[in-house]
Each structure stands twice: as C-alpha cells, then as structure tokens.
Chain A
Amino acid sequence: MTTTAMAPPATISGDATSGQARDRVLWGVLMLAPYLLVFAVMVVYPVAYGLWLGLNWQSYKALFADPIFIRTMVNTVVFLFIAVNLKFIIAMMLSGFFVQQRAWVRIILVLFILPWAVPSIPTILSFRIMLNPENGMINQQLFQWFGIVEGPGWLTDPTLAFASSILVHIWKSLPFWTLILVTGRLAIAQDLYEAASVDGANKWQQFRFITWPSLATLYVTSTLLSMIWTLGDFNSVYLLTGGGPGDLNHVLATLGIRYMRNNNLDLGIASIICAMPLILPMVWFMVKRLSKGAE
C-alpha cells in the first residue's frame, strides 16, 4: 500500500496498483451480487417460466376466439390514445399556469399534487362510491340541484364507465406530468420571452416559437413514458369498474388478471405475451434514451 501512496495519479491503474484493481473488481462484483440475485430470482426466472408457459399454441387460438379479448385490444388502444393525449394537453396548459411566480399559485400547486401523493386505492374507491348511480354524491346532487331523477349511469353504462376510468387515470397521473413540464418551462431563459414581446409577439406566437421548441424533446420523452405506464394502469380500471359492466371495459393490464382469477392461467399468460409487441419497442427506445441521458 505504501507504493501506491507514492505513485503519481496517472498510474493508478498501473502495475503498482494491481492489488487495488483486483480489490475493485472483487468488491464491484460482490456489491452487484444482491441485485443480481433478486433480478435472477424475481425477474429472469418468472419471465422465462412465463414464456415457456406461453409456448402453448392452443391458448392463442382460444384467446383470439374470445370476444372479450378482441374488445380489450380495442379498449386498450382507445384508452391509451385518449388518456395520454388529453393528459398532456391539459398538463401543457396547466404548466403555463403553475409557472406564474405568485405565492398563491404556489400554494395551489401544493394542493394540486395531492392525487399523486395520496395512495390510489382509497381515492379510486372514493370515485367509485361518488359515481355510484343511485346513492353516489354526484347523482344525488344532480337530483337536488337540477331535479334529475335518473342521473347518468357513470359506472353502469359501458361508454360512461370507460370514460370514467380514463378520467380517474388522468386525475391520478396529471400532477406528475404537469410538474415535469413546469420544470421544463422553468429552464427556458426568460429574456427570450422579453425579447419576443418587445418584437410584438402575442402569447400564442410565444408558445409556438419559444415554449414549444424548447419543450419538444421533453414532451416526446414524457409522452412515451406515460404511454408505457398508462398501458400498465391496473388500478384505475380494476378498482373503479372491475372491467365492467359485463367485462366490456377491460384493458390488457386487467384482462390477464381476470383470466387468472377464472382459473385460466394459460390465457392470462398468452394475453400478456400479446401485449409485448406493443410494449417492448417503447421500452427499448426508452432504455436507450434514459441510459444515454445518464452519461
């Protein structure tokens, strides 16, 4: 060890320090071991096992013969398209509100984050009770204020139930993405806006030519990430409507679990494997993007 103390920094990885280099490799491997163990046992083995179970050709035949599966595929695409776009349009507008440098706006921001900070089970169940067609607060209030005796079947009408799931999903995830876009907006140099308004640019032009170009990369990355997470949103559908009424409103994230609970594990696995062509390209793209950003 005394030799290393005298060695110039440039030779740290040279012969004199080969003991240290070996020490680094040894500890490097040792410290990765706990994660590798968890990864092997909890991710690699289950996924390999799942793929092996998914080799059964019969289950895909059965799956595509099941009208609920076809309906679910359509639902998933519609859910994804509406939820992600609506969420980001609103988040984009609200981020313009929350960058306002006012004390009371900052207080509202603190409250606005609540849906994200509070666990989703109680709040989604709260939605479910509130939207109950007979005794729920919404329809009771519609009756008391407007005399509407039979309010909308928020959870019993198939289309409305589907829309309600989308709204609950947006309610939960909107704060996070708004915050991301607020962070993005705060990074834009303020003098750009000042110069633009001196030149007589209106608000829309400022957004079009300053805000949007600065946020475009962040917006695309965020949208993609949100698409992946939206695909995996189990709670908003399952806890609100259970995929109902009549199994009409499942998405891929809940359908597998439904098959499993009906003792149809093979179909569950097959439905998950069918989701992979949709998910894996996005995951691959994001991994590349995130690991590059981390350099």
Chain B
Amino acid sequence: MKKVLDEGKLILIAIPVLIWTLLPIYHLFVLSISTQESMLAGRLWPEKPTLQNFQIVFNQQHYYLTNFWVQLFNSFMIAIATGLITLFIATCAAFAISRLKAPGGRSIMNFALATYLIPAAFLAIPMYKAMGTFGLLNTRVALILAMVALASPYAIWVLKQASDKLPKELDEAAIMDGANSLQLFRLVYLPLMKPSMVVIGIYALLLAWNEYLYAFLLLSSEKAVPLAVGLGLFLSADDAPWNLLMTAGLIYAIPPAVIYYGFRKNMVSGLTAGAVKS
C-alpha cells in the first residue's frame, strides 16, 4: 500500500515536470505541421496536419527563406570548422600544460578559465570592434575565430583534467625508452585521450551551431549568416509566417539533438563532471 502511495506521489511530480519541459517543444512541432489558419486559431492539434511547410522550406518558397540552404550550409561549415580547430588547439595546449609542464602553463590555464567564466555577451562588443579593425567583419572566418576563442578555454580545461588522470609512469617509461615529446604526444597521449577529445569536439561544434549573438553581430549579409540568424530575421515583421519559422527551427534543432542523444552518456558525464568540481 505504501509502495503504491509512493509511486502515486512520484507520478504527481512527473506530470507537471513533463508538461513544463515539453510544452514549447511540442508547440514547435505542432506549428511545423499546421496550416496558417489553424496556427492562428492556437489549436492544440491542427485540424489537418500537413507536411506542406517542409515543402515550402525545402523549396525556399518564402521571402524569409530565400537563403535557407545556404544558411544551413553555413551553420554546418562554421560548426565543423570550430569543432576541428578548437580540438586541435585544446589538445595541444592541454598536453603542453599537463604532460610537458610547459613554463607559464598554470597562469595560462587561469587566464583561459577567466575567459571561459566571463559571459560571452560581455565580450561581444569588444570582439566586434576588433574584427572591424582586422577587416574581417561579415566574413565567416570572423565567426569561426570568435567561436574558437570562446570554446577553447573550457576545452583546454576539460582535456587538461583528463590528461592529469593518465598515470605519470606511462610518460616515464616512454621517456626511458628514448621517446621525445612529439612521440609521447602521438603514441601515448593521443590514443588515451580519444574519449575526452570526442566530447570536446562535440562541445565546440554544438556551441558554434547554437550561437546566435556573435553570428548576428559579426555577419550581416543574408548569404553569410548561419541558420540561427536566418531564423531571427523572421522577427523583423509582426505578421511573419510563424509556422514556417517553426518548421525551419525544427530542422535546425534536429542535428544537435541527435548528436547530443547519440553521445549522451559521454556528454553528460564529461560535461557535468567538468563544469562543477565540488
């Protein structure tokens, strides 16, 4: 009897939690299969669910969607470039700090941590000004560089911690065998760091894919912006076709969600363990 009562209490918590969590996502989905009329009627479920919105988005048959494919491609390119460059930079830096005990490594780590902690929104304007003086405004390179700068500190920190956990004896044995630093990196460090590197690569990739503020500051031409900014363009009109916006938004949300759930086990433990050390 007490068991049943406990179960009942848990269900009473679960229902509001689920409604709260899923409502906006459900709403996103429902609008993507709604016609304009049933959307304006605010229905919980469309009268006649339709896939027409997807057709319109894929064929770019609306003013706001004229660059849908280019923007989707931009999102992919910027995310993948950010992921790869961040991975390269952070893997090298973490090796130098953690295994080679490079001079100044500790203070560099602290500076990097400070960069990670200062909210990106407060670095945006200075970075925008700097990009202007470099003549890089409205190039995708600018956004990639900015995202690498924002993603690297945390990446280095997580990889350094993972690297610190590798036994010292491995290095000592390799050095005794006459391995130089580069061989140490290639033959000992890289193979053992692979799981953490996957997590960090994905972290940087998702950070860049999801970024809105920097993309909309640094890029202005509609052909250069990623899809995140393309979606924001709908906000310029009050009577924008919300159902098309939600359709494009759904398409935009699917890749990161799939990646996230595909790597969920690694992501949750990797990122939460790194985020807060008690």
Contacts and interface: CB of A to CB of B under 8 A. Distances in A.
B115 A43 contact: yes
B212 A130 contact: no
B137 interface: no
Nearest to B20: A171
B177 A290 contact: no
B258 to A, nearest CB: 10
A35 B272 contact: no
Contacts of A268: 125
B239 to A, nearest CB: 10
Contacts of A197: none
B253 to A, nearest CB: 5
B27 A180 contact: no
13 contacts: A23-B181, A27-B185, A31-B100, A34-B93, A38-B145, A41-B130, A115-B25, A176-B275, A231-B119, A232-B119, A232-B120, A252-B122, A257-B124
A258 to B, nearest CB: 11
B24 to A, nearest CB: 5
B24 A127 contact: yes
The A interface is mostly helix, strand or loop, or mixed, namely helix
Residue from B24, B101, B176 whose CB has the most chain A CB atoms within 10 Å: B24
Contacts of B130: 41-42, 45-46, 49
Interface stretch (B52-60, B66-74, B155-163, B193-201): B155-163
B272 A183 contact: yes
Contacts of A110: 261, 264
Contact of B125 (A36, A125, A231, A256): A256
A59 interface: no
A121 B119 CA distance: 18
A50 B123 CA distance: 9
DSSP majority for the B interface?
helix
Interface stretch (A63-71, A81-89, A132-140): A132-140
B122 A253 contact: yes
B21 A31 contact: no
A9 interface: yes
Contacts of A103: none
Interface in A16-58: 17, 20, 23-32, 34-36, 38-39, 41-43, 45-47, 49-50, 53
Interface residues of A, number: 109
A105 to B, nearest CB: 7
Interface string B100-116: 11111110111111110
Nearest to A168: B24
A225 B113 CA distance: 12
Contacts of A20: 175, 180
A122 B152 CA distance: 26
A253 to B, nearest CB: 4
Contact of B118 (A36, A125, A265, A283): A283
Interface residues of B, number: 108
B5 interface: no
A235 interface: yes
Interface string B202-219: 000000011011000100
Nearest to A284: B114
A105 B18 CA distance: 11
Contacts of A104: 14
Interface in B30-46: 30-31, 39-44
A289 B105 CA distance: 17
B126 A31 contact: no
A113 B246 CA distance: 20
Nearest to B180: A23
Interface in B115-156: 115, 117-130, 133-134, 145-146, 148-149, 152, 156
A282 B118 CA distance: 9
A43 B152 CA distance: 12
Contact of A118 (B115, B117, B253): B253
B95 A31 contact: yes
Interface in A242-277: 242, 252-254, 256-257, 260, 265, 268-269, 272, 275
